[in-house]
Homo-oligomer: A and B are copies of this chain.
Amino acid sequence: MILASIMLIFFGIILGFFASALLKKEIPLPPPLAASQEIRNFILQNQIKPPLEIPTTDEGWIVLREQVNKARAAAEGSSLEELSSRFFVAVERDEILGVPIFRLTPESVNTDGLFIHLHGGGRFFGGGDLAAQEGIIIASKVGIQVISVDYRVPPENPHPAAIEDIALVYKTLIDREPYRKYAIGGTSAGGELAVASIHYFKQMNYPIPDALYAGTPRTDATNMSDSLNVLKHIDPVLPTFDGFFDALARLNAGKTELDDPLISPIFGEFDMFPPAYLVTGTRDLLLSDTVRLHRKLREAGIEASLNVYDGMFHGGYLIAGESPEFHNVHNELREFLLKQFAN
């Protein structure tokens, strides 16, 4: 009798689950039809991964960082030697006043300007050889000399170490070659650090670079961006900032408040900023971070071009192979930089 009752309740629970799913029409989200085959395939082939576990000690953070970097470095075709020969870019390891950098020189040069490239990876992952990967692509596709900065990261070196490294490299370069045109930028944390660095250059009364590139940048570590909620678990690369990435933001900030303009560059002042080229996608968890940066720039009277790709996720133009999005972003970046440098 009790067994029969339990079975009936259990049967009811199953019915309840089904009815709930049916009522809400839980049809899986179709892939973006107007995105490229490469972006669609990536979405179809990459299930949303569970979030990383948050380390509880500095040692734990270091172990995680090295594991992830090692795995990325081992991915096929991603060594500097392979990228160098695939994109026809000479790679030279060097340092400037103790900060490790990569000098990246393309076979074919379209401008004598210089691009200061900052790697992505949440101001945490992506150092070492990985720091030059996107720089090689930019050097090749734009036809410009690039210096990728392998800035310091936490837990050993929280804020302001990264920005101080970038500023040291930048100041040294402009002092040596003040007649050159300079761009600064990168993807994800690279775009974030480029914007934060310009805030810092302004504080330090350094000359401002001539152009800014921010691809799908994080700009607000206080999580006011609407896409963090609307696109939660839709972006296959950055499914959510809850948990791991929030903890990482605090690790990065060190003793600095999260709404400090050098941590959350959206809260800075945007007067005197250089013309900017911005990229994001409609499935990018950082869609709102990017469009809010664009609004801030425009409202400060700065020339800024916002480019949003349908169905594209965080960093999709770099991650999903040589897609049309990959070529369009870099072709337009070239056009933008050549125009700015000609002024």
Contacts and interface: CB of A to CB of B under 8 A. Distances in A.
A20 B13 CA distance: 9
Contacts of A168: none
Interface residues of A, number: 50
A18 B16 CA distance: 8
Interface in A258-286: 282-283
Contact of A16 (B20, B33, B220, B307): B20
A225 B310 contact: yes
Nearest to A30: B229
A295 B279 CA distance: 11
B234 A230 contact: yes
A221 to B, nearest CB: 13
Contact of A13 (B15, B287, B299): B15
A309 interface: yes
Given A13-B12, A15-B9, A226 B282 contact: yes
A122 interface: no
A288 B13 CA distance: 39
A287 B310 CA distance: 9
A225 B309 CA distance: 11
A330 interface: no
Contacts of A32: 226, 288
A198 B20 CA distance: 47
A68 to B, nearest CB: 26
A294 interface: yes
A17 B20 CA distance: 6
Of A14, A17, A287, A291, most buried by chain B (CB within 10 Å of CB) is: A291
Of the candidates A15, A311, A332, the one having the most CB atoms from chain B within 10 angstroms of its own CB is: A311
Nearest to A231: B230
Interface string A208-237: 000000000000100011110111001000
Contact of A12 (B15, B225, B283, B310): B15
Nearest to A28: B229
Contacts of A29: 229-230
23 contacts: A4-B5, A5-B8, A8-B12, A9-B9, A9-B12, A12-B12, A12-B16, A13-B13, A16-B19, A17-B17, A32-B226, A33-B224, A34-B288, A226-B282, A226-B283, A227-B282, A230-B230, A230-B282, A230-B283, A288-B311, A305-B305, A306-B307, A308-B308
Closest 6 CB pairs of A and B: A16-B16, A12-B12, A32-B226, A291-B308, A13-B16, A9-B12
Given A20-B20, A226-B310, 20 more contacts: A4-B5, A8-B9, A11-B12, A13-B13, A13-B16, A14-B16, A16-B16, A17-B19, A20-B21, A29-B230, A225-B310, A227-B282, A230-B234, A230-B282, A291-B308, A295-B328, A298-B332, A305-B306, A306-B307, A308-B308
